[in-house]
Amino acid sequence: MARFFLPPSEWAAPAWELRGDEAHHAAKVLRLKQGDSCIVFDGCGRAAHAVVAEPPRSSGVLLVPGEECPPSPPWPI
């Protein structure tokens, strides 16, 4: 499943928008479509499932947040 970085400051929004390199990777490399699932993380230990709400376009990819992922264990599995 694809994973994308979203800055912690943008987690409060009702919908998330990937921009820049993250949007390019989602739209042009992975070719995500409306309804595709992914995981979004903030680099501070928080992660959540998300669904592509709109077909990707050149300026960004709109995601609808879903439930948060359980944290990873502090030791390797």
What is the pTM (predicted TM-score) of this model? Answer: 0.77
Q: What is the largest CA-CA distance in the chain?
A: 39
Of 15-24, 44-53, 55-64, 68-77, the range with the lowest mean pLDDT is 68-77
- pLDDT for res 5: 92
CATH number 2.40.240.20 is the correct assignment for the domain at 3-68: yes
In angstroms, rounded to a whole number, what is the distance separating the alpha carbons of residues 37 and 44?
Answer: 21
Q: What is the pLDDT of residues 43-52, one digit of tens each?
A: 888 888 888 8
pLDDT in tens, 14-36: 888 888 888 889 888 999 888 89
- Cα distance between residue 2 and residue 37, in whole Å: 8
With a cut of 70, say whether residue 58 has pLDDT above it.
Answer: no
- Domain coordinates of the chain in residue numbers? 3-68
